[in-house]
Structure 1
């Protein structure tokens, strides 16, 4: 699976990492529902850090399509809510 972090680049991740990413996505959705910016930032940071840790960076000049696009680290809670609607970041 290829994951793009907006404003940063792409990472290639093995499908075996899906359960961990789904769990982090669930935490992020809970924080979004609570409406607390600090918890949202922590959960988003954990999800992005997992992608960076588990994945292999793809060169910037590669033109591989992303299967998943995540918000930038500096995204706001309101901006991500608008982008997602009621859907999670990681398809389940």
Structure 2
């Protein structure tokens, strides 16, 4: 699976990582629904860190279509309300 972190580039993620990311994504959806901005920020940073640490960075010269687009760490809580709804950014 190809994941783009907005403003930071693309990463190739193995299936096992996708399952882990889906769990974090689901938690973010719940936190946004609860209005918990502080924990939302912590989990968003965790999501992005996991992608960077466990995914394989794709060079800028390689152009691939992204399966998932992850918002940047500085996403506001108000913006998150429009993005992290329903199944979130990673569908089961």
- C-alpha distance in 2 between matches for 1:49 and 1:13: 13
TM-score by length of 1: 0.90
Match of 2:29 in 1: 29
Q: Residue 87 of structure 1: CA displacement?
A: 3.6
In 2: Cα distance, 1:86 partner to 1:77 partner: 16
Gaps of 5+ in 2: none
CA spacing shift, 1:23–1:84, aligned 2, 3 Å: closer
Q: Hey, what does 1:43 align to over in structure 2?
A: 43
TM-score (norm 2): 0.90
Mapped to 1, the partners of 2:38 and 2:61 lie a distance apart of 34
2:64 is aligned with 1:64: yes
Equivalenced residue count is 92
Structure 1 residues not aligned, in runs of 5+: none
Q: Residues 68, 58 of structure 1: CA spacing in aligned structure 2 closer, same or farther, 3 A cutoff?
A: same
